[in-house]
A and B are shown apart, each in its own frame.
Chain A
Amino acid sequence: MKRTRTADEYVSRAQWMASVMWVLVAAAVVGCQPAQDEGPPKEGVAAFYDGRIIRWIIPYSPGGGYDEYGRMIAPYLEKYTGARVDIFNLPGAGGMRGVNELFHSPNDGLTIGMINGSALVTNEIAGMRGADYKIAEFEYLGRVVADARVFVIALASGYDSFEEIWKLGQAVKIGATGLGGSTYVDAVIANEALEMDLDIIHGFDSSSVIRQAMLRGNIVGTWGSWGSALDAVDQGRDKIVLQSGKLRGPGLSDVPTAFEMAEKLDNPERAIAILMAWDSLHAVGRPVAAPPGTDAVKVQFLSTALDNALNDPELLETAKKFGRPIDHVSAAEMRQIVNDAMVLPDDIRELFVRAIRGEL
């Protein structure tokens, strides 16, 4: 027997439908993808990529530096390959998870990744557990940027230049994140090369916690990438007092380099050797790579596309606006850089291994 609907049920049905409509509209807004535009038919390898999907592995979670780079560059990569680029975030184990995945991904030319090159080289050199890849076997497509490393101090500490701190030894506390991490290795290598004995407090959770400690005066300074130091420097709270490169970089012309400081030592040869190795490590930076064994023609195509993308004036302008510098090198140069970073004189290599393992 069909009973008549009560007012209650009418009200609830209307509400139910309204809510469903609302959810569907929201889903539609969320799920809308822009349409691809057609062009003239392509030939050869370009035809292969036309309309296909390239998976770009980013080994960090959304919102971080690597992710921002990826999302900034992706549209330009799409422009120069004719394919759609899908970012795949795979965070974990300090970038190692994503790299492991990239190393074992199918080498059909449809998977690429941006990796934390410098950290991975150090992991492999030191034989860290979990490093399930061979950094030399990747097919490199080029580099997005190298990390210019700087030593930044809080002006509140009362110090103003590197010379003041240089020989103060354990009285000066500097911060670093994890053992074997980039800020730690930088601090230890700098200590070793420049014959100083600053007190390295490592174990900070992240660079933000280090920055807070600097603000509170708990520590004097830290090594880090130039980009991360900029904000506080611009606000006049911090000062960059040393940079790691051989030459003074653009925008850092007032800041002495570690090499310049090394010249002031009695026996600079050893220091210079260490610093050179250190520098070659930093040069690896953030490369983009394809899994080992990817077809050479496809690698060529992708490298060219990356090259074009990273030299595209529009992208460079956007990058500048967002404070994400681009320092592109080609695939061939990248391969050379990686080789240089892996080939170290035995005693230097030994030193680095001990530094990374925290034995120094």
Chain B
Amino acid sequence: MSDDPQDSGNHDEAAQKSVVLELVFISFVGLVVGGALIAALNYDFVSARAPLVIIVPLLILVAMQFNKTRRQAEHHDVLQQLSHALEGRDSKFNTVLRFIAFMTFLLLLIYVAGHYVGISVFMFVLMHWVSRERTRLALLVSVGVTVLLYFLFEHGFNIELYRGYIPKLLGRYGLF
């Protein structure tokens, strides 16, 4: 630990956020596992045995961890942190959310327009738009990697990469 008061302030903040995050995480896990418990209770007895044997200790541990985290969070203002983040004033949180959004966008784009369009657009947008790389560089890398993957997978491995909804639709009309 350093002696700089400013530094320990940052540490504190990071620690606070971490505790709040864990609280949210562990609550979410608890809910999901609770859901699994309800589902498992409806299963055939033979199939339900193993999940139940896993879920019961898991819930106990989750409860223990929840308690521990809650006690740590007593000194921090949990609700304030949460509203702070949800209102978009926490920059790290925003970055994470944005990144998730981008990757979701990538998958949706692949689903609709096919693998090649998806990945090239994704790379280009991230590099040029978000990171402000030079247009030429972004284009070169995006197109280059796409072409490389095309040759490697389609010709080399004979694996057809996802065609996408629109190309398939067009294919049905004989345009491809």
Given contacts A106-B172, A108-B174, contact A86 B152 (CB under 8 A): no
- Are B171 and A31 interface neighbours, CB within 8 A? no
The size class of the interface chain A forms with chain B is under 10
The answer for the CA separation of A27 and B160 in the assembled complex, in Å, is 17
Indicate if B5 sits at the interface (CB-CB under 8 A): no
Q: Does chain B have a CB within 8 A of A87? A: yes
A203 to B, closest residue via Cβ = B46
Q: Indicate whether A88 reaches chain B with its CB closer than 8 angstroms.
A: yes
* Chain A window 102-120, contacts with chain B (Cβ cutoff 8 Å), 1 for yes, 0 for no: 0000101000000000000
Contact status B174-A87, CB under 8 Å: no
Expressed in whole angstroms, the minimum distance between the Cβ of A18 and any Cβ of chain B is 19
Q: Does B174 contact A27, Cβ atoms closer than 8 Å?
A: no
Whether B6 is near chain A, meaning CB under 8 Å from some CB there, is no
Contacts of B157 in A (CB 8 A): 30
Report how far A27 CA is from B174 CA in the complex, Å: 32
Q: Main SS of the interface on chain A?
A: mixed
**Interface mask (B151-176 → A, CB under 8 Å = 1, otherwise 0):** 11001111010000000100110100
Which listed residue (B156, B168, B172) contacts A27, Cβ 8 A? B156
Give A341 to B149 CA distance when docked, in angstroms: 45
Of the candidates A87, A88, A106, the one having the most CB atoms from chain B within 10 angstroms of its own CB is: A106
Taking a contact as CB atoms closer than 8 A, the residue among B152, B158, B168, B172 that contacts A87 in the complex is B158
Chain A residue numbers with a CB within 8 Å of B158 are 86-87
B151 touches A31 (CB 8 A): yes
Whether the pair B155, A31 counts as a contact (CB closer than 8 A) is yes
CB distance from A13 to the nearest CB of B (A): 20
Q: Are A27 and B171 in contact (CB under 8 A)?
A: no
Q: Smallest distance from the beta carbon of A102 to chain B beta carbons, Å?
A: 14
Nearest A-chain residue to B154, judged by Cβ: A31
User: Does A206 sit within 8 A of B, measured CB to CB?
Assistant: no
* Residues on the A chain within 8 Å of B151, using CB: 27, 31
For the complex, what is the distance from the CA of A358 to the CA of B171, rounded to whole Å?
42
Q: Do B160 and A88 touch across chains, with their CB atoms under 8 A apart?
A: yes
A88 to B163, CA, bound (A): 13
Whether the Cβ atoms of B156 and A106 lie closer than 8 Å is: no
Q: For residue B160, which residues in chain A have a CB less than 8 angstroms away from its CB?
A: 86, 88
Q: Which residues of B contact A27 (CB under 8 A)?
A: 151-152, 156
Q: Is the CB of B171 within 8 A of A33?
A: no
Residues of B within 8 A of A33 (CB): 155
**Cβ–Cβ contact A106 & B171, under 8 A:** yes
Distance, CA A87 to CA B172, complexed state (A): 20
Bound-state CA distance A93–B89 (Å) is: 46
Tell me how far the C-beta of A89 lies from the nearest C-beta in chain B, rounded to whole angstroms: 8
**CA A88 to CA B171, docked complex, whole Å:** 17
Closest partner residue, chain A, to B176 (CB atom): A106
CB of B32 to closest CB in A, whole Å: 23
Interface residues of A in 6-33 (CB under 8 A from B): 27, 30-31, 33
Q: Which residue of B lies closest to A104 (CB)?
A: B168
Give residues 80-105 of B contacting A (CB, 8 Å).
none
Residues on A with C-beta less than 8 A from B155 are 31, 33
Chain A residues 206-228 with CB under 8 Å of chain B are none
Chain A residues closer than 8 Å to B168, beta-carbon distance: 106
A302 to nearest B CB, angstroms? 18
User: Closest CB-CB distance, B43 to chain A, in whole Å?
Assistant: 14
- How distant is B114 from chain A, measured CB to nearest CB, in Å? 15
> Whose C-beta in chain A lies nearest to the C-beta of B157?
A30
Cβ–Cβ < 8 Å partners of A88 in chain B? 160
Closest chain-B Cβ to A106's Cβ sits at a distance in Å of 5
| B171 cross-chain contacts in A, Cβ below 8 A | 106
Chain A's closest residue to B160 (CB) is A88
Q: Specify the chain B residue showing the minimal Cβ separation from A33.
A: B155
Closest approach, in angstroms, between the C-beta of B72 and any C-beta of chain A? 44
| C-alpha spacing A27/B152, complex, angstroms | 7
Q: How far is the CA of A88 from the CA of B157 in the complex (A)?
A: 11
- Contacts A86-B158, A108-B172 aside, 8 further interface pairs with beta carbons under 8 A come to A27-B152, A30-B156, A31-B152, A31-B155, A31-B156, A33-B155, A86-B160, A106-B172
Cβ-closest 5 pairs across A and B? A30-B156, A31-B155, A31-B156, A106-B172, A106-B171
9 CB-based A-B contacts, threshold 8 Å: A27-B152, A31-B155, A33-B155, A86-B160, A88-B160, A106-B168, A106-B171, A108-B172, A108-B174
